[in-house]
Amino acid sequence: MPAKSKAIPNLLRQSAFSFLGTIEHLGAATMTDVPVDGRTAIVVVEQVLHAPAAFSELANTRVTLQLAAKGVAPKVGDRAAFFANATAFGDSLALAEVGRVPAGDVESPVGATAAAGGLSPLQGFQAQIERDRLLEHAAAADAIVVGTVAKLEQATKKGLSEHDPDWWKATLDVDHVEKGNVKPGKLAVLYANSVDVQWRSSLKPKAGQGGLWMLHNSDEPLSKLAAFQVLHLDDYQPVQSLDTLRGNGS
Amino acid sequence: MIHIVNMIPFSLSGESSQDSEPNLAVNPAKPTDMVGTAFTAAPMGGALAPIYISTDGGNTWSLRTVVPGNGPFGTGDITVGFATTSGVLYAGTLNGSTGHLNILRTATFASTTAMTLLVDRASEDQPWVVAGSVVVGKTSKDRVYIGNNDFGQPSGHTGTVDLSLDARTAAAPAGFAPHSVERRATTGQDGPPVRLALHADGTVYAAHERWVSGSVPNITMDVVVTRDDNWGSGANPFSALVDPGDSKIGQRVATGRFIKWNAIMGQERLGGDLSIAVDPTNSSNVWIAWCDRVGGVSGTDWTLHVRRSTNRGQTWSNDVRTITNAKNPSLAVDGHGRLGLVSQQFTGSRWVTQLELTANAWSTPATVVVLHTAPSATPARTFLPYLGDYIRLLAVGTDFHGVFCGNNTPDNANFPNGVAYQRAADFTTHKLFNTNGVTQVAPSIDPFYFHWTDNPIIRGRGIVPTTPIQPIQPRTIQPVQPIHPIQPIQPIEQITPISIRPISREPIISPIGPKPGPGQGAANLHL
């Protein structure tokens, strides 16, 4: 059963962690070094609804939740779907509530979650948020093309700083231009080839890699080397993402 | 007696990131308060990166996301320091979003409030924080020094110290301003590390690596020390030490040393290792350590050197200690004038982190404590640096506190002097687990805190050392003020926080000695 609260998409955008849980204590905490007041609650996590992978297995544990300052505080024994961000990580978690919805708004009938492959009842909202994020990223791109990496070469002499980006140039064989002042054919784009901590997570095209590329104007003075650069991991998408972009009017 | 703690808290048992390049601050006014750092991203994302905090002398650690500029691996380079008496914490970072140097401050290190930004500057590298306090008139002031490699400095004089003579409460930039410590020609820049040693009498030493000649990857450098005798308060700070060899400011400790920049050893990069420490009992006594390739262009080594000066940095000894294929030297001198050196040595198949203590410059055998030894090939590197471009040793009174990073496989053989884990770990099967105790987690690089004291250590997890060990009680509920309509408080006896695990209450008494067997000493399955 899909979640039905209209508030959920906004709460998801504002929170990193959501769970179905029951207030066990008020004015108490599971950690010794966090402040406690009347709106500090110990909550038993019944089901994690969305979370980074490392926190997906917190069902049947207790967390500290600082209830939002405004609004009616729940009572001991109340169940709800809580949306929160973390403030401290110790023996357990301390969370700050962003908002909550009635448990019934996210609960699936018994067995339905299992039948759906164990997926969260919020998966539909999460997918929509992911689509929105992709569209926002595409809107910020200066050009969007479909192409294949034909050549990789060093663009500049490597700098002496340990955090030097080590600029390389990928030549794309562009088959299709979805956006921007670009023509099909060869197109050079810059990327940071360094594996230093500052650049390790930036996009690193591979020889023969084909797909959808979201290009951004190169920063000065790099534009002399190539007009575009790709740095963000989302600058590369499988070609099927074109449907997502078009389906939303991009 | 040594005590070693894996700093990853239980709630992050599911993480397997490369949490490398650690740093540490111990509050001199209250040494049970500590802050650690590493390349650790905010575990749940967001704009703020975490620091590790301990309020019980390093027995337990938790994270607070308070540092502006959270990137994919947290901030870039980050170091921290407490002022001597104020309890104010200062941080120097490369912002994880912009790469800029950020100088930050907080008066409440354990709070969840973001640190205050004091300085934001582009084209920077490797900030290194040292802080102190001094009474001027009747007012106590925090004096803060941040070594950094400032590519914005003219003439390639990039070795720099940002300093503030009164940083505690003033609005940004709180008196901070950059001062180059390089007075000679360079290849266009100095090496990344600029390290500092501060004495309570106002003596401040700064060490840097002057890149003299060469081009990537073959660089020739001099190791240079500058000094200021009055907190850096004059118009031209760090000018007190003149090298008679060329009449220029900055005493050259070693010249013509070869670096193979970014050479790889045991999955780690090499090129910039430097440390300096001053004797708190006598500011004339100063020690320095650095690494270079003794074999030159055709060499394969990476050799750690230690030298000392007893005349305020004017003349220096020959090497009093060398270690082949070692990096990350960090020096500290305790209240007895005893020197501590921690470093990480590559044996060809393992990284070995060890602490050496000497009261006589290794004239007699030093006390040597192996903190960690683990295979160097695993886990596979995610990024550079693998272990870190630095680690840190501090002396508070006659105790040494330090931090290093390494392979976190829970194997007693890797910790010959014991270790305590907070994260879920089984030392019998050598496996890590998520918080549920079922899902296995891959080994990764974690930060480890260590504490050396001459006194016996009696510790229980989560218990301050001097406190009698008793069963841990759940958090006491304070009387709640009726701010809002409030629910009746439940009897505290009903609370059973999952974080309190009986196995971890067992004290670890003097872990040095016989290797603990399965289930002894070091924590086993913490669930």
The pLDDT tens digits of the residues spanning B77-97 come to 999 999 999 999 999 999 999
Distance of CA A210 to the CA centre of its chain: 23
On whether residue A238 sits in a domain, the answer given is: yes
**Do residues A116 and A160 share a domain?**
no
Q: Is A11 in a helix, a strand, or coil?
A: helix
**Cis bond upstream, residue B385 (ω within 30):** yes
On whether residue A196 sits in a domain, the answer given is: yes
Per-residue model confidence (pLDDT) at position B458: 62
On whether residue A153 sits in a domain, the answer given is: yes
First to last CA, chain B: 27
On whether residue A1 sits in a domain, the answer given is: no
**Do residues A81 and A153 share a domain?**
no
Structure-token pair, residue A70: 């405004």
Listed residue (B228, B272, B263, B234) closest to B249, CA to CA: B228
**Do residues A104 and A51 share a domain?**
yes
Residue A76: burial class (beta carbons within 10 Å; 0-12, 13-18, 19+): middle
pLDDT tens for chain A, 250 residues long, are 456 678 999 999 999 999 999 999 999 999 988 999 999 999 999 999 999 999 998 999 999 999 999 889 899 999 999 999 999 999 999 999 999 999 999 986 544 554 455 667 888 898 999 999 999 999 999 999 999 999 999 999 887 788 999 999 999 999 999 999 999 999 999 999 999 999 999 999 999 999 999 999 998 889 999 999 999 999 999 999 999 999 854 3
On whether residue A135 sits in a domain, the answer given is: no
ipTM rounded to 2 decimals: 0.92
On whether residue A80 sits in a domain, the answer given is: yes
B110 CB within 8 Å of a chain A CB: yes
**Do residues A115 and A152 share a domain?**
no
Buried b (16+ CB within 10 A) or exposed e, B344-371: bbbeeebbbbbbbbbeeebeeebeebeb
Specify the residue for token string 């200066």. A142
Q: What is the CATH number of the domain that holds A91?
A: 2.40.50
Q: What angle do CA B32, B38, B44 make, to 5 degrees?
A: 100
Structure-token pair, residue A95: 């969370």
Q: Fill in the DSSP letter of residue B324.
A: T
Model confidence pLDDT, tens digit, residues B250-295 = 999 999 999 999 999 999 999 999 999 999 999 999 999 999 999 9
Amino acid at A44: V
- Chain pair A-B, CB pairs under 8 angstroms: 190
Q: What angle do CA B522, B525, B527 make, to 5 degrees?
A: 125
On whether residue A167 sits in a domain, the answer given is: yes
Shortest distance, CA A22 to any CA of chain B (angstroms): 14
**Cβ contact, residue pair A33, B62, below 8 Å:** yes
Rounded (10°) CA dihedral B468, B474, B475, B478: -110
Give me the sign of the Cα torsion angle A126, A128, A131, A132. negative
Q: Is A25 in a helix, a strand, or coil?
A: strand
Domain boundary among A87, A121, A155: A121
**Cβ contact, residue pair A16, B45, below 8 Å:** yes
Distance of CA B189 to the CA centre of its chain: 25
**Do residues A82 and A182 share a domain?**
no
Q: Which residues of A touch B382 (CB under 8 A)?
A: 200
Across the interface, of A17, A36, A89, the residue whose CB is closest to B9 is A89
Listed residue (B457, B409, B425) closest to B526, CA to CA: B425
**Cis bond upstream, residue B482 (ω within 30):** no
Give me the sign of the Cα torsion angle A109, A22, B42, B352. negative
**Cβ contact, residue pair A90, B94, below 8 Å:** no
**Cβ contact, residue pair A57, B383, below 8 Å:** no
What distance in Å separates the CA atoms of residue B72 and residue A52, rounded to the nearest whole number? 13
Q: What is the CATH number of the domain that holds A148?
A: 2.40.50.120
Structure-token pair, residue A123: 């998966």
Listed residue (B200, B191, B185) closest to B143, CA to CA: B200
Domain that holds residue A145: 141-247
Specify the residue for token string 């890590």. B432
Beta bridge partners of B154: none
On whether residue A134 sits in a domain, the answer given is: no
Structure-token pair, residue B177: 């301003």
**Do residues A80 and A154 share a domain?**
no
B48 CB within 8 Å of a chain A CB: no
**Do residues A145 and A227 share a domain?**
yes
* Strand extents, DSSP E, B310-349: 321-323, 326-333, 339-346
Q: How many domains does chain A have?
A: 2
**Do residues A51 and A156 share a domain?**
no
